[in-house]
């Protein structure tokens, strides 16, 4: 695990000593192994259920509404913080964008102010807007100071009370967690956003799925994750260049380096696709007309990953399945959105 001394160092603030120590040396912690069932690990008994107000105007209870049964990213901010928090929020925005359409369905983001006297609902709403955060899947929360401090304490993110008198000392770590399985890790917000989002998306989600099927058995949870090998391979090797979106699902790459693979198993012959995945470089070199035409549209040639037949099967299954999933999920969502426009209620902002 890579810590981020250099990034932090550039922040140039001695006051961050505490955060640096926590970031560098307390990297993660796991649930106690004697935990007996998914329901009571770091559950309602552990986390308080205080009421918090979201920048969108709703009141949310910390346990029941914010974290219960969810995979979440939670950090603590204050809006008048000049350097650290904006960097931290910007980094969260990157993770949020990389996570794309999974935010909200799988994963939820929360930023809780540690300066509730100043950070009212209105102030938080402005702050969220400045970062282009919509209120659906990422809530900025305020509440009672002592209750927020108690929540931070539960996460182990409350610093020395003396140091805490200066808000800038606040511990800038980010908690990633899966309440249902009781698995929480502490991360530096300066960690590479791809690593953070991978962890949220794949790793935590894998635990969640495992947790649904097998209770009580943390040791075996990682082996039982439901993510297919095709999906794992795609995330590791393909997703940095390719989206599968079809313009329906949000893309993960700001500037994709290769074509959108939505529907690719339908638009290409099976034999062509298999050969392409096995030896794209040779196909271009040998003058295959489809390969040459594709290659002319993109700046790079796709790498040859020396995939074997089994890996190619897995990837093709994943791309086909993902196309179907998106088609079904977003067709319904688009319809719903059109329907909602007619009885549009509390959402106020008109940009984008």
- Site residues (CB under 6 A) for ligand HEC? 237-238, 240-242, 257-259, 261, 264, 268, 273, 276-277, 280, 294-295, 298, 300-303, 305, 315
List Cα–Cα distances, 103 to 67, 100, 175, in angstroms.
14, 6, 16
Closest separation in Å from C-beta 106 to ligand HEC: 22
Contacts of 195 (CB under 8 A, 6+ apart): 2
| Min separation Cβ 224 and ligand HEC, Å | 25
Cβ proximity to ligand HEC: between 143 and 251 the closer is 251
C-beta closer to ligand HEC: residue 225 or 237: 237
Distance of closest approach, residue 202 Cβ to ligand HEC, in angstroms = 16
What are the beta bridge partners of residue 127? Answer: none
State the Cα–Cα distance between residues 75 and 131, nearest whole angstrom: 15
Least Cβ distance, residue 257 to ligand HEC (angstroms): 5
Residue with Cβ nearer ligand HEC (48 or 259): 259
Nearer to ligand HEC by C-beta: 130 or 267? 267
Distance in Å, CB of 317 to ligand HEC, minimum = 11
| Residue placing its CB nearer to ligand HEC in the complex, 156 or 246 | 246
- Minimum Å gap between C-beta 39 and ligand HEC is 39
Q: What is the DSSP letter of 303?
A: P
Q: Which is nearer to ligand HEC, 267 or 349 (CB)?
A: 267
Exposed (0-12), middle (13-18) or buried (19+): which is 220, by Cβ within 10 Å? Answer: exposed
> String of b and e for 84-100 (b: at least 16 CB within 10 Å)?
bbebbbebbbbbbbbbb
Number of Cβ atoms within 10 Å of the Cβ of 182: 22
Least distance in Å: CB of 316 to ligand HEC? 8
Nearer to ligand HEC, 162 or 266 (CB): 266
Q: Do β-strands 174-178 and 183-187 pair in parallel, antiparallel, or remain unpaired?
A: antiparallel
We find the least distance from the C-beta atom of residue 234 to ligand HEC, in angstroms, to be 6
* CA 200 vs CA 2, 95, 96, 149, 294: distances in Å: 17, 9, 10, 25, 34
Would you say 121 or 273 has its CB closer to ligand HEC? 273
The three-point CA angle 183-185-190 to 5° equals: 155
Q: Which of 174, 215, 208, 173 is nearest to 71 (CA)?
A: 208
Neighbours of 46 (CB within 10 A): 12
Q: Closest CB to ligand HEC among 26 and 290?
A: 290
CB of 239 to ligand HEC, least distance (A): 8
Helix (H) or strand (E) holding 183: strand 183-187
Q: How far apart are CA 305 and CA 236, in angstroms?
A: 12
Number of H helices, E strands in the chain: 14, 7
């Amino acid at each position: 695990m890579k810590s981020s001394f250099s990034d932090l160092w550039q922040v140039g603030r001695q006051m961050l000593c505490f955060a640096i120590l926590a970031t560098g040396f307390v990297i993660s912690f796991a649930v106690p192994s004697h935990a007996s069932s998914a329901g009571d690990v770091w559950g309602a008994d552990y986390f308080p259920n205080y009421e918090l107000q979201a920048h969108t105007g709703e009141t949310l209870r910390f346990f029941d509404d914010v974290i219960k049964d969810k995979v979440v990213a939670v950090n603590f901010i204050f809006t008048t913080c000049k350097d650290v928090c904006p960097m931290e929020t910007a980094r969260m925005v990157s993770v949020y964008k990389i996570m794309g359409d999974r935010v909200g369905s799988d994963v939820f983001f929360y930023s809780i102010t540690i300066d509730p006297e100043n950070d009212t609902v209105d102030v938080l709403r402005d702050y969220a807007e400045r970062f282009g955060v919509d209120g659906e899947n990422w809530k900025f929360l305020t509440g009672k100071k002592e209750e927020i401090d108690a929540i931070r304490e539960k996460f182990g993110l409350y610093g020395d009370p003396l140091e805490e008198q200066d808000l800038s000392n606040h511990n800038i770590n980010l908690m990633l967690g899966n309440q249902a399985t009781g698995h929480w890790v502490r991360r530096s917000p300066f960690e590479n956003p791809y690593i953070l989002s991978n962890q949220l998306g794949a790793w935590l989600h894998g635990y969640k799925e495992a947790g649904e099927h097998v209770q009580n058995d943390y040791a075996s949870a990682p082996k039982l994750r439901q993510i297919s090998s095709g999906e794992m391979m795609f995330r590791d090797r393909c997703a940095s260049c390719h989206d599968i979106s079809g313009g329906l699902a949000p893309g993960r790459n700001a500037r994709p380096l290769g074509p959108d693979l939505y529907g690719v198993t339908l638009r290409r012959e099976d034999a062509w696709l298999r050969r392409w995945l096995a030896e794209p470089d040779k196909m271009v070199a040998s003058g295959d007309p489809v390969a040459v035409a594709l290659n002319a549209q993109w700046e790079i040639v796709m790498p040859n990953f020396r995939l074997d037949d089994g890996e190619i099967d897995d990837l093709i299954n994943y791309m086909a399945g993902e196309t179907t999933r998106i088609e079904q999920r977003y067709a319904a969502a688009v319809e719903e959105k059109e329907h909602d426009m007619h009885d549009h209620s509390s959402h106020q902002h008109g940009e984008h």
